Structure 1
């Protein structure tokens, strides 16, 4: 194997090792909020702040299996367990936290078929994403949002007299520890480069000894 080939391979290995080091801590674990692990209620109640690590503004939860709302979107919108969340009074509702990725959720119109629900993903007050979906009362609709790096979600519904929607199986990735500080990057790159250079020098010395013998 030529010296140039060895150098190329070592450089590739050094870069790969650095990328691996920088990637440590960047993996996030998906979490699903089903709203079934909040304290049971006889009718409905606001989702308490802190549930799932979020602040919930105008989001309530209720038992969709109650006979009084059977065959409505609250009943049909249940994906796991008995409880679903919904936007109080049919008004806009917010979910906020530190930086997270919003993966997906199931949405169902509570009362009116053809209900439109707009979901915005924001970061520091700026809208990064916006998606509008049309949902019915008969079954939940899985919506894959893939909103990355947001700190707030804003849900707004419209279409018909009653604009409540049911939300279930809210899936997100909470960001893990970030990559090393920028000031550490040159040091990590230097370590990887020095390691590759050391191996290359030893290879050159071995080749020189072989030629002299």
Structure 2
């Protein structure tokens, strides 16, 4: 290269003091030129969001506090001064955003006036904060990002799943549930051999009696509805539970935002076609809504069956399950377990992207567990609990 030739974009210092040439253009600006003071009071012409936050109120105390989690894919309505209503879904951070601007007339809020917000919970969910409906007046404010502001901002809206214990039982069975307060209620078995009863958090004793035999299950109800494995009324499991309890939340497998095939040996078990990832790696709201501990979640890869297995028998205690995507709402999860080559258990439960159910399995001395969905959608899974021998 000849002396004096420069690559494109290079800076050449000109002989005149205070002048510079950048890509062929000469400048001699002052600080006031480069850092102009804005003329406040004129219309900005921009836009900004007015938002409302919806969260999972995990401790059900009606306050957005530590431990609560944002809840995506919740419907929020905005009532406009002219009587029209529009709906937006909450995003992965739990916010329903409505864009406002005085000059950009194609947005949701363009006129001053009285606006009303209404959060519409998914089926099986209730508002804990008592503020599903909120109202505010919006006024023109030239120079603000959207040239309009709210006189009152919204407050977070908390939702919690309606707690139930449900399951399958033989027709004619008598189902009784005794709660932490010592009060016993009876649940009716429907013609489809299903039952469901409203409950509160705490330890419950479930008894199913059929033809003189009674099976008893102790269930701890936490933050999610509980689905029991099939109750046969034949006297319960014939073997004692294994002594060592474990719970894996998949948070110690990776620290990045990618996906990671769960390797054999994790937690002392072997795994096949099950993947762990950060809950926000995809846009699937069910992955976020199913996460109960930490920030990571597991799912059956590509919606195909996954397996957990071991040469040594283990007890599958239970796990939280949900649908990864809102398009899979109502997907059916099928769980099968074997002892060696012999089938031991089989159950089905319905999944939702709004939040998990806790499947109380109590599968004892199994060597293989299969996790599959009927329509090959991904089932999200967290807090996989099991027991092993000494």
- Shorter chain as denominator, the TM-score bin is 0.5 to 0.7
1:110 counterpart residue number: 324
What is the distance in 1 between the residues matched to 2:336 and 2:349?
A: 12
Question: Does the 8 A contact of 2:319 with 2:359 survive in 1?
Answer: yes
What is the distance in 1 between the residues matched to 2:313 and 2:248?
A: 17
Which of the numbers 123, 128, 150 marks the counterpart of 2:366?
150
| 1:116-147, Cα deviation, whole Å (9 max, x unpaired) | 11111111121100011101000011010010
> Which residues of 2 match residues 24-35 of structure 1 at below 5 A?
28-35=243-250
**1:123 counterpart = 2:336:** no
What is the distance in 1 between the residues matched to 2:322 and 2:287?
A: 8
SS at match of 1:75: helix
Q: Which runs of 5+ in 2 are unaligned?
A: 1-240
Q: Sort the Cα spacing of 1:82 and 1:27 in 2 relative to 1 into closer, same or farther, 3 A.
A: same
SS at match of 1:136: coil
2:299 counterpart residue number: 86
Q: Sort the Cα spacing of 1:27 and 1:123 in 2 relative to 1 into closer, same or farther, 3 A.
A: closer
Q: Which runs of 5+ in 1 are unaligned?
A: 1-25, 177-213
| 1:138-172, Cα deviation, whole Å (9 max, x unpaired) | 0011010010010110111024xx51010100001
| 1:6-35, Cα deviation, whole Å (9 max, x unpaired) | xxxxxxxxxxxxxxxxxxxx8612110110
2:251 counterpart residue number: 36
Task: Give runs of ≥4 in structure 1 deviating > 4 Å.
Answer: none
2:277 counterpart residue number: 62
- Give the TM-score of the pair, scaled to structure 1: 0.66
Which of the numbers 73, 78, 88 marks the counterpart of 2:286?
73
Which of the numbers 352, 360, 370 marks the counterpart of 1:136?
352
SS at match of 1:65: coil
**1:49 counterpart = 2:264:** yes
SS at match of 1:138: coil
1:197 counterpart residue number: none
What is the distance in 2 between the residues matched to 1:113 and 1:40?
A: 29
Q: Comparing both structures, which one devotes a greater share of its residues to helix?
A: 1
What is the distance in 2 between the residues matched to 1:157 and 1:38?
A: 24
2:384 counterpart residue number: 170
- Between the two proteins, the alignment pairs up a number of residues equal to 148
| Aligned-residue offset at 1:38 | 1.1
Q: Pick the structure with greater CA Rg.
A: 2
RMSD: 1.7
